[in-house]
Structure 1
Amino acid sequence: MLLVAAVIWGLGFVAQRLGMDHLAPFAFNGIRFFIGALSLVPLIWWLKQRGSLTLTTDGLWRGALLCGGLLFIGASLQQVGLLYTTAANAGFITGLYIVLVPVLGLALKHKTGSNTWAGCVLALVGLYLLSIRDGLSIGLGDGLQLIGALFWAVHILAIDHFARRHAPVLLACLQFFVCALLSALVSVVLETTSWSGVIGGWQALAYSGLISVGVAYTLQVLAQKHAHPAHAAIILSLETVFAAIGGVWLLDEQLDGRALVGCGLMLLGMLVSQVPLRYLVKSRHQQPLQD
């Protein structure tokens, strides 16, 4: 489920870029998360009729408001940042949450090994090569994606906490409604939206709403009910690879040699941060002898 979500999200960066040819960022997010929330209503009704859905309201709205608020901040930074950077850059920088999840987990008394710090160093060097320009400045779009990565990491930890206490599909639906409402409120104040823009961007909205939100985020919540947050983060981080593939394939984006090395180091850092070094050493010593 997490791998499917990673593929959907990676290609979703393309849809998000294309959608803003017709709609402003907050309007696009408001509509797509509202579509995603509505898409889960029939599933919730069906599960309730079958008796497969246990409704526990104690703390549910608190979880929905917190997860939805974090989702709103992360999605807003990501969507606005896409106005100023490529889908490939956005995917790789967003993927830094894989390093941030175990680091932030220290505050929750999660164990963090030396591999995490090694992964952080590799990822930061990669981020420098990918995003830092001459004069040690970072582009606005990449900067927004970097801040957003922090909120995606916190969102994963929040989902890990609440998905074990409440029906995942219901929690997913409610957090989508919260995110959609907050996005719509900001859009009403800051943006102008027309029906022609909505109609023009219907394909991007359909993918981003039904598939990226309705399917992928729900898969994340369902999977994290049974997965360790650090393990979930490494699988979800593969969205960076699919974002780069989608950007080059569908948007004709280009990555120069420096950027490719940076992407490679970031991906390596993400992987290293999740594989305890003692396991690598142990596996080497346990290699079978050759005849």
Structure 2
Amino acid sequence: MAVVTPRPVLGIVLLIFVSAAWGSAFPLMKDLIVRVPVADLLAERYGIAALVLLALRPRSLRGLSENAWRTGILLGLLFGVGQTAQAVSLHDLPSSVSGFTVGSYVVITPVLGLFLLGARTSARVWASVALATAAMTAFALMREAEGDIVLPALVATLLSAVLYAVHTLLLGNSAEARQNAYAVTVIQLGTIAAMTGALATPDGLTLPSTPGDWAILGHLSIVACALGFLARSWGQVHVSPVSAAVILSTQPLWVTALAVALHGEPLTTGVYLGGGLIALAMLLVVSPGGLFSSARRGRGPVPPPRPSG
């Protein structure tokens, strides 16, 4: 069987795109859930994303093994429950606190990997995890809170971080997810859409009412979900789960950049400190001796993607 040579640079580029796409989605989603119920928005967002990818490769799900279906459904349930908990909690948490709490999965990922999978992580990568955590702390705590912190919302958001960490580990360590990346991505998105749709349909589905809201939904569906999930699945073929978590922890940087560019928010000490720490964490991960010398360590050859569509 032919094998795919790990290409860390490609994985890094894809995951940086994911981080930027998901970072841009955060403030847009917080804005839109004021007018569209959370379950409705998630069902529409992930349903459109799944349909777009399926339309591009209509035969991508043919001939899949039961393991591939189970993997995709499990990944979808993990991310879907986490996304729902995070979105519902956004009503009761300041954006900075929510972002920091969700971002804690960068620490949870290597800890769970160590205890559940026995996965060893180098000191360099642990250092990058610590720097990424410090960066998120700077972004969150050195900015003024937008409101009071509601404890149940904080706990629910922390649960979402744990689920995201498990999702990252499963995605990075599943042979099915690596070999059938496109198909498993479609199944993930479809599972999330079905789960949130079941929550939304009893009260009827609320659609966006203005062209601006439809544009936001389009960005959330196509850029953040369809392209973002696909890029993440392909990116984690070439990058280990913990390194992927560090790269994805740059989301607050993209959120801040958009806030500065679009809303004129000031560049504070916290922004500079957080940005510098994130940059240093990324440098530790991607520099020689970090990601490049340990890509796919201990996993053997990367199986070739399954031809589809």
TM range (shorter): 0.7 to 0.9
The alpha-carbon distance between structure 1 residues 127 and 147, as it changes in their structure 2 partners (threshold 3 A), is farther
Aligned pair 1:70/2:83, yes or no? no
Aligned pair 1:155/2:167, yes or no? yes
Aligned to 2:8: none
Aligned pair 1:111/2:124, yes or no? no
Aligned to 1:180: 193
Aligned to 2:182: 169
Aligned to 1:25: 38
The alpha-carbon distance between structure 1 residues 11 and 210, as it changes in their structure 2 partners (threshold 3 A), is same
Aligned residue type for 1:194: T
Q: Secondary structure, in 3 states, of the residue corresponding to 1:194?
A: coil
Aligned to 1:37: 50
Aligned residue type for 1:186: L
| CA positional deviation for 1:4 | 1.2
Aligned to 2:258: 246
| CA positional deviation for 1:121 | 6.1
Find the aligned partners of 2:92 and 2:263 in 1 and give their Cα distance: 15
Aligned length: 270
Find the aligned partners of 2:130 and 2:108 in 1 and give their Cα distance: 12
TM-score (norm 1): 0.75
Q: How does 1:1-291 map to 2 (within 5 A)?
A: 1-45=14-58, 55-106=63-114, 107-114=116-123, 130=140, 138-140=149-151, 142-162=154-174, 163-164=176-177, 166-189=179-202, 193-195=205-207, 197=209, 201-250=213-262, 260=271, 263=274, 267=278
Q: Percent identity between the aligned chains?
A: 24
| Contact 1:168/1:222 (8 A) holds in 2 | yes
Find the aligned partners of 1:198 and 1:70 in 2 and give their Cα distance: 32
| Contact 2:24/2:255 (8 A) holds in 1 | yes
Q: Secondary structure, in 3 states, of the residue corresponding to 1:83?
A: helix
Find the aligned partners of 2:141 and 2:201 in 1 and give their Cα distance: 32
Aligned residue type for 2:191: V
Higher alpha-carbon deviation: 201-210 or 13-22: 13-22
Aligned residue type for 2:16: L
Find the aligned partners of 2:156 and 2:272 in 1 and give their Cα distance: 22
| Contact 1:122/1:269 (8 A) holds in 2 | yes
Consecutive unaligned residues in structure 1, runs of 5 or more: 280-291
| CA positional deviation for 1:5 | 1.3
TM-score (norm 2): 0.72
Aligned to 1:285: none
Find the aligned partners of 2:137 and 2:106 in 1 and give their Cα distance: 17
Higher alpha-carbon deviation: 125-134 or 112-121: 125-134
Consecutive unaligned residues in structure 2, runs of 5 or more: 1-13, 291-309
| Contact 2:54/2:186 (8 A) holds in 1 | yes
Aligned residue type for 2:167: H
| Contact 2:172/2:178 (8 A) holds in 1 | no
